[in-house]
Amino acid sequence: MSTRSQQLFERAQQHIPGGVNSPVRAFRSVGGTPRFFAAGSGSRVIDVDGQSYLDYVGSWGPLILGHAHPEVVAAVQQAALKGLSFGAPTEGEVEMAELLCALMPSLEMVRLVSSGTEATMSAIRLARGFTGRDLLIKFEGCYHGHSDSLLVKAGSGMLTFGNPSSGGVPADFVRHTLVLDYNDSAGLAAAFAEHGPRIAAVIVEAVAGNMNLIAPRPEFLRSMRELCSRHGSVLIFDEVMTGFRVGPRGAQGLYGVTPDLTTLGKVIGGGMPVGAFGGRREIMARIAPLGPVYQAGTLSGNPVAVAAGLATLRLLQADGFYALLAQRSRQLTDGLAAAASKHGIAFSAQSIGGMFGLYFRSACPQSYAEVMECDTQAFSRFFHAMLDAGHYFAPSAFEAGFVSMAHSEADIAATLAAADAAFSAW
């Protein structure tokens, strides 16, 4: 007897490539059938077979308040009753822009878009338009959405230009993108020494969350800031994942480094499609209709999506929100590390605010090369044992995890008990 998820996945594959609308959902790296979800509430999701799971994916980051938070749902319902879209300005967009600029002091102006990909793509165009330069620096393992110039992996040697990491991206498009090692300040200094006057921008995940989780060395971010300022290059912090997830002012607040431009997404839409990019006024003033850098969107600043984002961002301002979120995340990562160590399993874990990394490796990685050393077979085993026990982790060894404010101490304790059972049967 096949499950409803299996039946739906069979059907899905007839008309949707791979049966999914975003590749990591397909369970390719861990094997098995993706669960189709029917509903979510607080810390839990329920699949179409009626199985309930404690959810540590949270829609890949947005659901910092948990699933279907009543105040967010009410805001969406009220907005929807007034109209789904106008293609004309609305009051909510002004409130959203004011709130984002108040929460993140590096933002003097912001523009709303509908996804993180749009935000980073537009921020890069803007940085190039502002500087009149073409070269972009990114770091291996950081993900900034799926636009052409960002789907690039390192070339064969230091300071060589990248190669496309996806079919369909002309090699010519990524000729302007230099791919360096994350946390390697010396490599960055060398790139600026060679190419400084041609570098339009450096884009970075100030906490890397798309190669599992890698914490930045503080001097890496500081030297990046210093080099960009000295060479007139635009520093872009891609905070699509970290924005309002690692702390009340994002990673830039946590590490005390101020970028020129910031990209946002995920949490700022509270589960609806909202992205944003913003920063210094003199740079933002180059966007159409004020300036020559073109950027637009039919559904940008959509009133229903913005209502969800505003309701979410307001709830994050509660006293002690981030302290409690960080404490819950740490309860999970400390507990998992203790359970693995008790059973002699090579494992490490860490959390930053409401995001965490789990590694089947004895110490937390600090680079892309180190994270690639994690034991992916051990991860798959852990993933399936936890899934069977009703605990839903990201279906890949190279994704960060997320804890929401809806996760109670008892939820985390239940997950730790399941992990202990999984590790003892190792």
CB-based contacts of 366, cutoff 8 Å, min separation 6: 183, 214, 215, 217
Out of 181, 238, 260, 411, which one is annotated catalytic? Answer: 238
Closer residue to ligand PLP (CB): 166 or 362: 166
Which residue, 7 or 147, is less far from ligand PLP as judged by CB?
A: 147
The span from the first CA to the last CA of the chain, in angstroms, equals 28
Q: Identify residues 240-279 at the interface with ligand PLP (CB under 6 A).
A: 240-241, 265, 275
Residues 234 and 260 sit within 8 Å (Cβ to Cβ) = yes
Amino acid at 9: F
Which amino acid makes up residue 2? S
Taking the complex as a whole, how short is the minimal distance between the CB of residue 426 and ligand PLP, in angstroms?
A: 31
Q: 151 vs 422, which CB is nearer to ligand PLP?
A: 151
Of 75 and 241, which CB lies nearer to ligand PLP in the complex structure? Answer: 241
Q: Which stretch binds ligand PLP (CB under 6 A): 7-15, 63-71, 109-117, 250-258?
A: 109-117
Instruction: State yes or no: is 266 an active-site residue.
Output: yes
Residues between 137 and 166 that touch ligand PLP (CB under 6 A): 143-145
Least distance from ligand PLP to the Cβ atom of residue 121, Å: 9
Is the Cβ of residue 43 or residue 117 nearer to ligand PLP in the bound state? Answer: 117
Minimum CB separation of residue 184 from ligand PLP in Å reads 19
* Pair 298, 84: CB distance under 8 Å: no
Q: How far is the CB of 114 from ligand PLP (least distance, A)?
A: 8
Q: Which stretch binds ligand PLP (CB under 6 A): 68-76, 110-118, 346-354, 388-396?
A: 110-118
Q: Determine the residue with CB nearest ligand PLP.
A: 116
Q: How far is CA 88 from the centre of its chain?
A: 29
138, β-bridge pairs: 179
Backbone angles phi, psi at 217, to 5 degrees: -75, 130
Asked whether the beta carbons of 245 and 42 are under 8 A apart, the reply is no
d(CA 35, CA 26): 9
d(CA 270, CA 66) in angstroms, rounded, equals: 9
Residue for token pair 């994916």: 57
Candidates 51-59, 75-83, 115-123, 180-188: pick the segment binding ligand PLP (CB under 6 A).
Answer: 115-123
Alpha carbons 70 and 104: distance in angstroms, whole number:
26
Restricted to residues 205-244, the positions that interact with ligand PLP (CB under 6 A) are: 205, 209-210, 238, 240-241
Q: Where are the beta strands (DSSP E) in 296-360?
A: 348-352, 355-359
Nearest approach, Cβ of residue 241 and ligand PLP (Å): 3
Q: Which of 5, 59, 106, 115 binds ligand PLP (CB under 6 A)?
A: 115
State the angle between helix axes of 321-342 and 409-424 in degrees (0 to 180), rounded to the nearest 10. 20
Looking up tokens 């990019």 gives 277
Smallest distance, ligand PLP to C-beta of residue 237, A = 9
Per CB under 6 A, which region of 103-111, 116-124, 223-231, 337-345 contacts ligand PLP? Answer: 116-124
Residue among 388, 387, 358, 389 nearest 374 (CA): 358
What does 203-241 look like in DSSP terms, one character per residue? EE-SSB-SSS-BPPPHHHHHHHHHHHHHHTPEEEEE-TT
Q: Which of 43, 59, 106, 120 binds ligand PLP (CB under 6 A)?
A: 120
Binder of ligand PLP out of 43, 59, 117, 367 (CB under 6 A): 117
CB 118 within 8 A of CB 275: yes
**Options 53, 143, 255, 368, the catalytic residue:** 143
Beta bridge mates, 67: 42
Residue 277 Cβ, how far from ligand PLP at the closest point, in Å? 11
- Binding residues for ligand PLP, rule CB under 6 A, total 15
Catalytic residue (one of 55, 56, 266, 368): 266
By annotation, the residues acting in catalysis are 143, 238, 266
Residues forming contacts to ligand PLP in the complex (CB under 6 A) are 115-117, 120, 143-145, 205, 209-210, 238, 240-241, 265, 275
